[in-house]
Structure 1
Amino acid sequence: MTVLELRQYTLHPGRRDELITLFEREFVEAQEELGARVVGTFRDVTDPDRFVWIRAFDDMASRHAALTGFYGGPVWMRHRDAANATMIHFDDVLLLEAVGDGFSATSRAAIGKGRRGPSRVLAVVWTGGGAEPDTATVERLLGVTPVLARTAPYVNDYPALPVRDEQAVVWFASYTWAGEAAAAQERLAAHPLGQEPGLEVLELEPTARSALR
């Protein structure tokens, strides 16, 4: 299994690139050395003050150890004031469990190795209270093979970082260029699934160091 966090931060106006620069310079290797894999880092295309990122852990025990080590360690202590100064809210977090191989090194459909340019990632987030959307239908509308994750059936054992208390399903889809993502969004919007109140589509632009592109 793989445990994932989908993290959405609301930032003070005009400070997103400041946080991204700090994050990519100081926080990627510092977390990965402790077992937290930074899968993707993104600018939200529709919101200039939102930073979105994904990190992965082998299991909940690895997550607890990595978070304890990082947030109690010297790198975060040295830079936390600068990072926190850019943020308004940092508690929009879904704790998920990947279905299948997730964002593993062998998941070529998910990780665009060496891919550069105006690529896009769509995160289709469903938190509706009814029946879960049919995955085959979502995949057909997206037009690519997504990585699927559902709310992890575990208690958040690192309460200093809260997570949303709701059931969610998320499909992560990667596109070579922005036009492909736009076409997928049009297909979703034209389908009854796109009208469901519990469905949100995040259009994400990978930052320079994002593995997921």
Structure 2
Amino acid sequence: MSIVELRQYTLHPGARDTLIALFEREFVTGQQAVGITVGGRFRDLDDPDRFVWLRSFPDMASRARALHAFYYGPVWQEHRDAANATMVDSDDVLLLRGPGFTAPADAGPVVATICHPLDPTAFADHFERHLRPELAARTPPLAVHRTENAENDFPALPVRVGEDVLVWFATGDTAPLPDLSTHLHSAPQQLHLSPVPQPSR
């Protein structure tokens, strides 16, 4: 399991494709060069001004070193003004533990489901015993993640604190969720996402 960031950026109207082009041209290889695994990148299908992406690290210490190397390194320093000019907010970040996620080639739409359990341990057990098998017949949950509760040791980049989540991804036509109201603080949030096309290699 890795340390994973699920990052949701709110952008200025019309700026999403500008950021995606810059991200794909400069920030994927720039982060990989310092040991960051860049996962899926997505357009939010419900919000034209939202960009969603994931990155992962072997552990918290590696995360701190890699983020310092990238954000104080030449790639970000050269392009940060252009990137920041597209953004309204970049602080909606869940710090998770899990495998990370990149959509399979030709996967079609992706749904990320975010649940806030009343009892995280009990809900994780319920998920594995009941919910995963129930959903698997139609749209198997992929890449399940839970909150990483370690202190954020790169405070220059805030993460959401004081909440426990269970997050999973699914591709294609997703099955409706059963009633989970007895297990959760609030209704599950579902992000309907379109993967950013990757160049053929």
The CA distance in 1 between the partners of 2:143 and 2:127, in whole Å, is 11
TM-score (norm 2): 0.86
> In structure 1, what is the equivalent of residue 71 of structure 2?
71
Matches within 5 A, 1:43-82: 43-82=43-82
Displacement of 1:198: 4.3
**1:82-137: CA deviations, max 9, x gaps?**
10011001100000011xxx248xxxxx652xx23x61221110124355262144
The CA distance in 2 between the partners of 1:94 and 1:62, in whole Å, is 17
Structure 1 range deviating more: 137-146 or 85-94: 137-146
Question: Do 2:112 and 2:168's aligned partners in 1 also have CA atoms closer than 8 Å?
Answer: yes
**1:167 counterpart = 2:164:** yes
Opposite residue 148 of structure 1, the aligned amino acid is V
Identity, in percent, stands at 48
Aligned pair partner of 1:147 in 143, 146, 152: 143
> In structure 2, what is the equivalent of residue 126 of structure 1?
115
Aligned pair partner of 1:135 in 127, 131, 150: 127
Structure 2: runs of 5+ lacking an equivalent: none
Distance of aligned partners of 1:26 and 1:55 in 2 relative to their CA distance in 1, 3 Å threshold:
same
Question: Do 2:16 and 2:51's aligned partners in 1 also have CA atoms closer than 8 Å?
Answer: yes
Partner-residue secondary structure (3-state), 2:34: coil
The CA distance in 2 between the partners of 1:83 and 1:194, in whole Å, is 39
Question: Do 2:117 and 2:166's aligned partners in 1 also have CA atoms closer than 8 Å?
Answer: no
Question: Do 2:5 and 2:95's aligned partners in 1 also have CA atoms closer than 8 Å?
Answer: yes
Question: Do 1:41 and 1:52's aligned partners in 2 also have CA atoms closer than 8 Å?
Answer: yes
Structure 1: runs of 5+ lacking an equivalent: 105-109
Displacement of 1:138: 3.4
> In structure 2, what is the equivalent of residue 107 of structure 1?
none
> In structure 1, what is the equivalent of residue 180 of structure 2?
193
Displacement of 1:193: 2.2
TM-score (norm 1): 0.81
Displacement of 1:58: 0.7
> In structure 2, what is the equivalent of residue 15 of structure 1?
15
The CA distance in 1 between the partners of 2:55 and 2:6, in whole Å, is 7
Displacement of 1:148: 1.0
Distance of aligned partners of 1:194 and 1:78 in 2 relative to their CA distance in 1, 3 Å threshold:
farther
The CA distance in 1 between the partners of 2:75 and 2:36, in whole Å, is 14
* Runs of 4+ off more than 6 Å: none
Displacement of 1:141: 2.7
The CA distance in 2 between the partners of 1:111 and 1:7, in whole Å, is 16
